[in-house]
A and B are shown apart, each in its own frame.
Chain A
Amino acid sequence: MSRLLAVETLTRRFGGLVAVNKVTLDLHLGEVHAVIGTNGAGKSTLINMLSGEIEASDGRITLNGEDITRRAQFRRALAGVGRSYQRTTIFPEFTVLENCRLAAQATSPRPWAIWQSSHSCEYSNGAAREALEAAGLGAVAGRVAGTLSHGAKRQLEVAMCLATKPRVLLLDEPLAGMGAEETERMLGLLANLKATHAILLVEHDMDAVFRIADRITVMVNGTVIATGDPASIRVNPEVRTAYLGEDH
């Protein structure tokens, strides 16, 4: 299995608080790597550092062996690191298709060609349609994104991420607030995406995590306390006391 993204002793300090403390983990093609932990464990900070939204205080991030620790967020995105947000961040006033087309346009921007209409950009339209079909939103492509149900907005969030054709997916709680049916659909989508992507999944839904993840990293107060396959994490005594609770 090929390693796409490698994180070594990544640290982020906010003043005196160490939000993420020397985290080391790998993302491999064909693998879902779940990061779990209580609120405030530093999961979102970790994703924000990987995507380039906030700077790392220390440590190293490499993408395909290339150091991207200090690279600007948009350059990482163009290099193949896609992310979705915990709080839905779509373009509510645009249609579903326009949302995805705009995201896809990042890969083929050509801003100087002002005589060409953005609506007729073949590349962006194609990539957007593909992402919408994959996320199961093909039928509502014409709807204004703000009018979608919560679950559909979460799907759009992922579809917009896919439209940029990333190799690495950083998904911040894609299942948050979803119903049972929507959760099933999203898990199906993740299972499909796995073959061609390296996926980092931050998620609170433990049943879903243990079903879909190939590897799990457990964080407590910014520090990794365990990494392993779901079976070994499930029986890990430290994880049980620190996070899962005795009854799990």
Chain B
Amino acid sequence: MKTFSHYLPLICAIALAALGPFLGPYLGDLVVKVMILAIFALSLELLVGMTGLVSLGHAAFYGIGAYATVLGSGKEGGSIAMLLPLAMGCAAGYALVTGALSLRTRGVYFIMVTLAFAQMAFFVFHDTALGGGSDGIYMYIRPVLGALDLENSKVQFYFVLSALVFTYGLLALIRRSRFGAALAGIRVNEQRMRAAGFPVYGYKLAAFVIAGALAGLAGFLVASRDGVVNPELLAWHNSGEVLLMIILGGLGHLRGAVIGAVAFTLLKELLSTHAIVGPLADHWQLTLGLAIIAFVALLPKGIVGLRVRVMPKKEAAA
């Protein structure tokens, strides 16, 4: 049965599209930032929530996508048609190589190996001439495709929104497909999947590469928005933050990743604003940490779990 909640993501997307022109520069920019993070979080949800692979190195693919965009655009700027596949391709390529190796481990070892590969990528950009060192590199001209000029903030807004709808739609399709069912099976009981005749390693690697490519898409968008990249994009705390987002929102739900990205960004914004929290704003990391601990303690199933508590019957039927 299709309920109202089933259509909620679509309604939100249409509402955002309608509201787009009326958002001021501050709010518009904040929404774009959140939407990019939502894409990044969704890409990790494919790994953690759907396949049961907890990665602590996901920022590597995000950062590689961003760097590929800036490096590929050069002084003359570049076409979206060239830079977007380049960003996603580079991220997917790194995911293929590191995934092929790290997926031979599991559990806490997998976490450590993904972290190690991400740190390797971090230091390549941080310590070599390629990435411009810790200051990063500027993009001279933002990507363009015909009338689509990402220099224009309205164009940027709708481009990012389309990318979010695409990512959400793609993952929703994957979830209900045979591929998604197999990933869920691997999450619950890998041994049985192998006994049934599934090439489990191949499935995991495919999920890892798709997740990497989508993180690369988010990286392309963040580079196009900021016009600058620096190694912090690949840093391990960025991997940790995106993991926090999907946990905060609620693992196992696509909307959880989006809600988590919204909640995390708003919390961070709120707790670092002097006008709201006064001098505490200087210590936003501390208050943010406490807030997250409180959230996780009170809502073990994430923010999506709230709905279940309010309407337990409906959830059981769905």
A92 and B184 CA atoms in complex are apart in Å by: 12
A124 and B189 CA atoms in complex are apart in Å by: 19
Residues of A within 8 A of B178 (CB): 105, 109-111, 113, 116, 118, 121, 124
Shortest distance between the CB of B188 and any CB in chain A (Å)? 5
**Is B173 in the interface zone, CB < 8 Å from A?**
yes
**Is B176 in the interface zone, CB < 8 Å from A?**
yes
Residues of A within 8 A of B185 (CB): 91, 102
The 5 closest A-B pairs by CB, nearest first: A77-B197, A106-B197, A118-B181, A111-B179, A114-B177
B contacts with A: majority SS: helix
**Is B203 in the interface zone, CB < 8 Å from A?**
yes
Assess whether B195 is in contact with A78, with CB atoms less than 8 Å apart.
Answer: no
Assess whether A113 is in contact with B177, with CB atoms less than 8 Å apart.
Answer: yes
Assess whether A90 is in contact with B192, with CB atoms less than 8 Å apart.
Answer: yes
Assess whether A106 is in contact with B173, with CB atoms less than 8 Å apart.
Answer: no
A-B contact pairs, 5 of them (CB 8 A): A77-B197, A89-B189, A94-B184, A102-B181, A114-B174
**Is B180 in the interface zone, CB < 8 Å from A?**
yes
Residues of B within 8 A of A89 (CB): 189, 191-192, 195
For chain A, give the interface size range.
35 or more
**Is B304 in the interface zone, CB < 8 Å from A?**
no
Assess whether B176 is in contact with A117, with CB atoms less than 8 Å apart.
Answer: yes
Assess whether B182 is in contact with A109, with CB atoms less than 8 Å apart.
Answer: yes
Interface residues of A in 46-102 (CB under 8 A from B): 51, 53, 72-75, 77-78, 82-83, 85, 89-94, 98, 101-102
- How many A-B contacts if CB must be within 8 Å? 95
A177 and B68 CA atoms in complex are apart in Å by: 59
Given known contacts A91-B185, A106-B198, A164-B197, A117 and B192 CB-to-CB distance under 8 angstroms: no
**Is A143 in the interface zone, CB < 8 Å from B?**
no
Assess whether B179 is in contact with A73, with CB atoms less than 8 Å apart.
Answer: no
For chain B, give the interface size range.
20 to 34
Given known contacts A91-B189, A110-B178, A118-B181, A51 and B196 CB-to-CB distance under 8 angstroms: no
Interface residues of B in 175-211 (CB under 8 A from A): 176-182, 184-185, 188-189, 191-200, 203, 206
Shortest distance between the CB of B189 and any CB in chain A (Å)? 5
Which single member of A93, A111, A114, A160 contacts B196 (CB below 8 Å)?
A160
Beyond the given pairs A102-B193, A111-B179, 11 more chain A to chain B contacts, judged by CB atoms under 8 angstroms and listed by A's residue number, are: A73-B194, A77-B194, A89-B191, A102-B196, A105-B178, A105-B196, A113-B178, A114-B177, A114-B179, A115-B177, A164-B197
Given known contacts A91-B188, A93-B188, A74 and B180 CB-to-CB distance under 8 angstroms: no
Shortest distance between the CB of B2 and any CB in chain A (Å)? 14
Query: B150-174: contact bitstring with A at CB < 8 Å (1 yes, 0 no)?
Result: 0000000000000000000010011
**Is A209 in the interface zone, CB < 8 Å from B?**
no
A109 and B179 CA atoms in complex are apart in Å by: 8
Can you name the residue of chain B whose Cβ is closest to the Cβ of A115?
Answer: B173
**Is A119 in the interface zone, CB < 8 Å from B?**
yes
**Is A103 in the interface zone, CB < 8 Å from B?**
yes
